[in-house]
Amino acid sequence: MQAGTTLGNLASAIGITTEDASLVAALKAGSESAFALLIAQYHQQIYSLLVRSLNDSADAADITQEVFLKVFRSIRTFHGDASLRTWLYRIALHEASNQRRWWSRHKRQEITIDAPCGHDEEDNSFSLASTLADGGESPYDVAVQREVRLQVENALRQLPEPFRMTVVLREIEGFAYEEIAEILDVSVGTVKSRLTRGRSALRKILVASQGTHAASSGASLKLEPCEGGSTR
């Protein structure tokens, strides 16, 4: 009982919950079940964050796996200075930044699926993407508030990366200013400035594309997690 109380007091003192402290202790001990629990709890959140950061579901799924591998390898470096969730998000955005740098260096050497890859019988060019396209609607497309979500998601993609991720972390993921500052490695003042400018830019984009009503409807940014991301 005393050991449990001590663990709880320690967790409270350094800003992580008792549950997180217990999970971290098990992870550091090499528990496979603890690692499986970590993935079950945070996989969808990390994947959703990366989809919005990278704007590519396939890349987001791959990087999600890399994030958890990195967590598994570096869990002993976690000392509880921030919450476990904050630490995970910081790793995820760092990996997303690495992915964008890699893509910037290699994109000119790759052929995208949207590039012309042949001609049909009428000599019209077609791409690989057009041959793989699925005309059916996904469950996400037919969900409640589909149009509002799509409008806001499209507007978010147009925001500069620093503003987009600050808005996502605050309005969608629900982090406090201090936690966002920790994740992005910036000051709280910078977080507030980016959030103000990001919200303003987002509203302007929504007004320009759909009118004042659409901007008002999307202002709360109550978006559901992006679906997908295999836990293979």
The amino acid at residue 74 is: S
Angle subtended at Cα 158 by Cα 56 and Cα 140, rounded to the nearest 5 degrees: 50
Alpha carbon separation from 70 to 53, 65, 92 (Å, rounded): 18, 9, 9
What residue spans of 29-83 are helical by DSSP H? 32-54, 57-74
Domains 10-106 and 145-217 are alike in CATH topology: no
Q: Which range in 35-39, 112-116, 169-173 is most confidently predicted, on average pLDDT?
A: 35-39
3-state secondary structure of 174: coil
Please compute the mean of the pLDDT values over residues 20-46 and round it to a whole number. Answer: 94
The domain limits of the chain are: 10-106, 145-217
pTM: 0.66
CATH architecture label of 145-217: Orthogonal Bundle (1.10)
CATH entry, 10-106, from 1.10.1740.10, 3.30.70.150, 1.20.1250.20, 1.10.10.10: 1.10.1740.10
Q: Which range in 78-82, 116-120, 187-191 is most confidently predicted, on average pLDDT?
A: 187-191
- The encoded tokens of residue 200 equal 């303003």
3-state secondary structure of 116: strand
The yes-or-no verdict on residue 43 having pLDDT over 70 is: yes
94-121 pLDDT, tens digit each: 999 988 887 766 554 444 444 554 444 5
The DSSP 8-state label assigned to residue 231 in this structure reads -
Q: Buried b / exposed e across 79-107, counting CB within 10 Å, b at 16+?
A: ebebbbbbbbbbbbbebbeebeeeeeeee
